[in-house]
A = this chain, B = another copy of it.
Amino acid sequence: MMRSVPIGEAARQSGVKVPTIRYYEHIGLLPAPKRSEGNRRHYETSDLRRLAFIRHSRELGFDIEAIRTLLTLQDNPSQPCATADTIAQARLADVVQRIRSLTALKAELELMVEGCRHGKVGECRVIEVLADHSQCEHARH
Contact = CB atoms under 8 A, between A and B. Distances in A.
A120 B79 contact: yes
B57 A120 contact: no
A80 B127 contact: no
Interface residues of A, number: 54
B109 A105 contact: no
A21 interface: no
Interface in A89-140: 89, 91-92, 95-96, 98-99, 102-103, 105-106, 108-110, 112-113, 116, 118-124, 126-127, 129-131, 133
Contact of A79 (B76, B110, B121, B133): B121
Interface stretch (A1-9, A27-35, A48-56): A48-56
B88 A116 contact: yes
Output the residue of A61, A82, A102, A118 with the most chain B CB within 10 A: A102
Interface of A: 49, 52-53, 55-57, 59-61, 70, 73-74, 76-82, 84-85, 87-89, 91-92, 95-96, 98-99, 102-103, 105-106, 108-110, 112-113, 116, 118-124, 126-127, 129-131, 133, 141
Given A92-B109, A99-B102, A121-B73, A116 B79 contact: no
